[in-house]
Amino acid sequence: MKPTRKLAETLTPDGARLALYEHDGSYCIRLGQEELMHSSLSASELLLGELATERLASHAHPTVLIGGLGLGYTLRSVLKTLGPNATVQVAELMPEVVDWNREFLSGCNGTLLNDPRVEVTVADVWEVITRAGPSRYDSIMIDLDNGPNGMVQKQNDRLYQQDGLRRLASAIKPGGCAAIWSAWLDKRFAERLTEAGFTVQVVPAKRHARAKRFACTIFVADK
């Protein structure tokens, strides 16, 4: 049996251990003992990108924001959908995660960071959205935690509350959308999105394309 190798490790702003592991050609990122993402269970991350950009394929110059780089599967999906004149901004809190993609994950999605459409911003997505001003993005994707509460850092809580959702709505162009990944169905979060002015669709998602059951939820919030 091939061993699981820890390739790299860092600390989050809250002091938790974030680590990249490899096993038999597959990769995962863990926060402490909690698995955040796995390269062999990426169907829901791909779907997140599809749902957020499916109406933008014919746009001449779409501008989108991905909150959280992870293993790059949402970025892969977005680049596959959008044309050559798109601008895809990726906001990643942890500079080490960007480095891991470039150093260890070139066989996964790391080389996508070299796509001329991609702009990588090492920053809290909260700050990126706050600085964006009104109607900056055609679509915003959020995949920071395992659901709509702060996990990677406690400060992420603010993004999922009313003030954060109103800022999110302000940064999106009329007719655009936000798509938020979650490991569970949070009905109260869907209600908060509605209260922030979005029209909400709750989409069940599979972790693996051939999985028999839906294990995740994507909230698609249209402005």
Q: What is the CATH number of the domain that holds 200?
A: 3.40.50.150
Mean pLDDT of 1-13: 92
Give the tens place of pLDDT for each residue, 163-189.
999 999 999 999 999 999 998 899 999
Element (H, E) at 187: helix 187-195
Write the CA distances from 1 to 4, 5, 7, 35, 180, integer angstroms: 9, 12, 18, 21, 37
On whether residue 9 sits in a domain, the answer given is no
Calculated CA dihedral for residues 154, 104, 40, 98, nearest 10 degrees: 30
Give the tens place of pLDDT for each residue, 47-103.
999 999 999 988 999 999 999 999 999 999 999 999 999 999 999 999 999 999 999
Q: Shortest CA distance to 70 belongs to which of 47, 87, 90, 86?
A: 90
- Report residue 175 CA to chain centroid gap: 20
Domain carrying residue 193 = 41-222
Q: Are 154 and 144 in contact (CB under 8 A)?
A: no
**Above 90 in pLDDT, residue 152?**
no
**Above 80 in pLDDT, residue 31?**
yes
Share of the chain above pLDDT 70, in %: 100
On whether residue 5 sits in a domain, the answer given is no
Q: Are 92 and 122 in contact (CB under 8 A)?
A: yes
Q: Shortest CA distance to 177 belongs to which of 210, 125, 208, 142?
A: 142
**Above 90 in pLDDT, residue 213?**
no
On whether residue 82 sits in a domain, the answer given is yes
What's the total number of domains in the chain?
A: 1
